[in-house]
Each structure stands twice: as C-alpha cells, then as structure tokens.
Amino acid sequence: MTVDSPPKPSTSRRARKLRSLPGTLNMVLRQRDPPRFYLELARKFGPVAYFKFGPIDSYLVSDPELIRDVFVTNAKRFGRPLGAKILRNMMLGHGLLTSDGDLHMRQRRMMQPAFHRKRIAGYAQTMVTISQAHAEHWASLPAGSAVDVAEEMMHLTLAIVGKTLLDADVLHDAPEVGESMDTLIHAFDRTMSPLHLLLGRMGLTSNESFFSARRSLDAIIFRIIEERRRNPGDRGDLLSMLLESVDDQAAEGAENGMSDQQVRDEAMTLFLAGHETTALALTWAFMLISQHPQVRTQLQAEWNTVLGQRAPGFDDLPQLRYTEQVISETLRLYPPAWLVARATVQPHDLAGFHLEPRSGVLVSPYVVHRNPDLYPDPLAFKPERWTPEFKAGLPKLGYLPFGGGNRVCIGEGFAWAEAILVLATLGQRWNLHLKPGHDTSAKAMITLRPKFGMPMQLEPR
C-alpha cells in the first residue's frame, strides 16, 4: 500500500514555465501543498532546482553529496534563514534552533552533556512511567472509545518533556502550557503565509493571542528558573544541566555560564522541539501501523518475545529492532522537520549555480526520502528495508529526519529512545484502528502535521 501518489511527469516546456513563474505566485503555489511543490521542483529540475520565492533567489538541494557541501564542507558560508529569524523574534530567542556562529557553537558545547547516553538512560524510566499512565487513562474510557491520536500524543510528549526538561508536572501544575505552545506554533504558521504578510502590511492582523501565550510560557519558565537558582542541585532533568553548565573554553574574564535569559531561550527551544516533533512521529507511526496489519503483528511478536508482560526499559532498546525499524520508516515517509533552510552569507558555487549572499537554500528530508535511487518503491511503507546493510549503503545525508552537519538535532538520541519506548509501552496494551475513510493528508508548515487530526478507535489487547 502506498501513502500517496507521485505527480504526473510534465513536458520540458511546462517545466521551464514553472521555473520562470513570478516569486509571489510560487509562494501561493507552495502554500497549497508545500511537500508536493518541492517534490515537483526536484523531479523537474534535478539535484539543484532554482526558483524565485517572493523576492528571494532560492535553491532546492536534493542530492546527498550537494547537501553535504551545504551542511558540512562549506557550512560557514551558510547561516540562518528569514524563517529562523522570525521564529527567534516570535518565541525562541537565541536558542540552538535560531542562533548562529560562535553563539551556536558555544551553547551546543555547553548543552551536549545533557544528551549523553548515560543521561538519556536516566530519562527513559520517566518516558515509560508517563506512557503507562496514559495507557491507564485510555482504560478508564468507555469501551470502544475513539480518540484523536494526534492530540493524545501531543499531551503525552508534553508531559514527558515537561518532566525530563523542567522536573515539572506541566499538565497539572501549568495546564496553560499545552494551549500556549499550540498558539505559538499556529501563530508562526500564519506569519509565514502570503495572506498574513499582505494583511500585516495593511495593519489588519492581530497578535494579541500570540503575545498572551508567550507571556504565559515566559512566566512559567522564569518562575521555575528562579526557584531552581535558589535551590541549586542536579535533579536529573535538563534544566539542572542548563543551570550548571560551564563553558570550559570561554575566554578569560568572559562569562562561562548561561544567563537566565539564555536558559529560557534554550528551554523554550527544547520544549518545542522535544514536544511537537516526537508527538507527530508517533501519530504517523500509529496511522501507518493501522494501515498495515502485518506490521502490527510483527511488532506484537517482538514485544511478546523481548518484554513479555513487563514494561520496556532503556536496556531493551537494542533488542527492539523491529520497533526501531518502524520508527525509521515512519520518519522517512513523514519527517516532522520536513524542510530545513539556510541562507548564504558568502558567495558560493554549487553544482554550476552561483549563489549570491542572502540566497535561500532549502533541503527537504521529505523530498530526499522519496528518491527512488535511494529508496526502491519509495512511497511504500516497508520497515523491513532498514537492515544494517541497507543503512550502511545509504549516503551519509541520504536520511536526515534530524538534519545534518554541525546543526544536527542535539536531542536525536533522546528522540529515538522516547519514540521507541512510548510506542512499545502503548502498543503492549492497545491496538489503534484508524477511522475508516479518514483523510490522512498532511499539513506542512513548520512541522508535518495531520491536516484533519488522527481519529482512531481503541482496542485493548
């Protein structure tokens, strides 16, 4: 079974016409179906597709070796794009996702210990405990109940990231957190739309809900930071690591720790990245499992063999190989961070194109992961393709659900552990069946979300 259908091939004349479309029209076409827009560009123009996006000279890069040129070999020639600057000003501040240059390298160096394997092992029990509580919550619902799994996974991962990041029960102690995060994400999506940009210039948009949501989150995070400053110590959460982190390479006389504002920016970044993306990966995974009963059967066989009746733990991760393969294939087809952008800060020649400063360079994992030269039968859901031999044969940046180069997601190990453990914990107790006939189309803005939610019926195992 395939997850979508490829666009029909076009004539070279039509391709040239599309290539010469005005930048504003490209923005409108992209708004209708962003992933398909970029898929068509790659299929019509090849590894580097030039197009105007508004007033910006833009290049979609879809060849792994050329992506390596941008992300690794000549990474210093590329900085953060306009969207990252808007995200920085709107909500994230100078966190890892939006910072650049020396600041980015300094912060990453200071935060890296929070994501070491031993530390992640400490978070694993929290991930499983919260997942078990969620499975119990489903048991309290009337028999045959249906839930929106997209919403359920948002709540679940919010609880996990709140506990592991802030050592706080955010769903009970700060119930406005989930709503505020959702408001901020939707506000960013609206800000990046052509219609919003036009209305904004006319003074016809209101951002009051956005500012209210940001104030709410800021108040919560700064209050927790202040309390933790008064009572220092390592509680085993990420915030403890941020507050105690020291830059051993700081210049003499320079501040070697993080200010409260910097801690806030990093906490907000990790809160968003650790909450939204894993929730979406799990949502798409449950959808795909429901559509492929043979995959569910094989997963349950693995859980019965490896776990029996007990809950999974960090030490079980190497044995949950098929569960990992299911997550790998889900992230291939539905990478939550489906588009990564850079902006040139220096002139650069790329595959015969001369890129001037302030050009946009786009890399879409969604597009790369559908390349039939890398992934035979690319639209099919085939977890079994992820053998060690297959992974070894992929180009270095032929699979990049977490980005790549010096900006690869710092929480990748955390995310893998969380996705596998949550899927196994819930799957041991429940089968989830997609509502018949439900439209599972994706809505792609800052992340790849189900456009109409993901209603699924709960069936106890």
What tens digit of pLDDT does each residue of 302-351 get? 999 999 999 999 999 999 999 999 999 999 999 999 999 999 999 999 99
Is 362 among the domain residues? yes
Is 365 among the domain residues? yes
Average pLDDT over every residue of 406-414: 89
Q: How confident is the model at residue 22 (pLDDT cuts 50, 70, 90)?
A: low
Name, of 5-14, 79-88, 219-228, the range with top average pLDDT.
Answer: 219-228
**Amino acid found at 92:** L
pTM: 0.87
Q: Mean pLDDT for the chain?
A: 85
Q: What is the pLDDT of residue 191?
A: 65
Residue pLDDT, tens place only, 52-76 = 888 889 999 999 999 999 999 999 9
How many CB atoms sit inside 10 A of residue 28's CB? 13
130 to 116, 237, 385, 458: CA distances (angstroms): 22, 15, 31, 18
CATH of residue 14's domain is: 3.30.43.20
- What is the tally of structural domains in the chain? 1
Domain with 10, as residue range(s), is 1-78+340-381
Q: Tokens at residue 449, please?
A: 């979300």
Does residue 451 sit in helix, strand or coil? strand
Is 63 among the domain residues? yes
Q: Tokens at residue 242, please?
A: 């941020």
Give residues with Cβ within 8 angstroms of 227, minimum separation 6.
none
Is residue 43 over pLDDT 60?
yes
Which phi and psi (to 5°) does residue 396 adopt?
-50, -45
Does residue 223 sit in helix, strand or coil? helix
The proportion of the chain whose per-residue pLDDT surpasses 70, expressed as a percent, equals: 84
Is residue 228 over pLDDT 90?
no
Is residue 300 over pLDDT 50?
yes
Is 415 among the domain residues? no
Name, of 197-201, 257-261, 271-275, 356-360, the range with top average pLDDT.
Answer: 356-360
Is 204 among the domain residues? no
Average pLDDT over every residue of 427-441: 97
Is 301 among the domain residues? no
How many CB atoms sit inside 10 A of residue 276's CB? 23
Name, of 117-131, 224-238, 287-301, the range with top average pLDDT.
Answer: 287-301
Q: What is the pLDDT of residue 11?
A: 36
Is 51 among the domain residues? yes
Q: What is the pLDDT of residue 205?
A: 52
